[in-house]
Amino acid sequence: MGLNRNVSLSAGLGYKGGGPYLTYILHRIGGSALFIFFTVYILSLLGLESMQALMGNWIFQTFMLTFGLFHAINGLRISILDLSPKLIEHYRTAITIEWMVYVLVAGFALFVVFRNAFGG
C-alpha cells in the first residue's frame, strides 16, 4: 500500500531548485525548439511553401532564437564543466557568465530579426 511514486510535471516544475534548475528546464525547452527548427528547416528545403513562409516569419524566428541560442550556450557551459570537473564548484559563477553571454548574443540576434522585420 502507498501512494505511487510518479512525479507529475507540475510537481517537478514546482520544485524550488533555483537558478541552476531553471537552466536545466530551459535547456530542455531549447532542445525541443531546435528539433522543431530543424524539422521546419528541412521541410522548407524540400520546397514546402508553408514551411518556407514559417522560416521567414519573425515571430517564429524570435521564438527559435530565444530558446535555441539558450540551448547552445548552456550546452557549451555544461561541456566545459564536464571536461574540467574541478571547475564545477564554481558553477554559480559559470551560470552568471552564461547569462551575460546569452543576453549579448540573443540581444544581437533579435536586433537583427526585428530590424529585418520592421526596419523598412
Only segment of 14-22, 49-57, 63-71, 100-108 that touches another protein (CB under 8 A): 14-22
Binding to another protein by residue 10, rule CB under 8 A? no
Q: How many CA atoms lie within 13 A of 114 on its CB side?
A: 7
* Total residues at interface with another protein (CB under 8 A): 24
Three cell numbers, residue 51: 514551411
Angle at 101 between CA 95 and CA 105, to 5 degrees: 140
**Interface region with another protein, contact rule CB under 8 A, candidates 32-40, 54-62, 77-85, 107-115:** 77-85
**Cβ–Cβ under 8 Å, residues 69 and 105:** yes
- The minimum distance between CB 24 and another protein, in angstroms, equals 4
Rounded to whole angstroms, the Cα distance separating 27 from 116 reads: 27
Binding site for another protein (CB under 8 A): 1-5, 7, 11-12, 14-18, 20-21, 24, 78, 81-82, 85-86, 88-89, 91
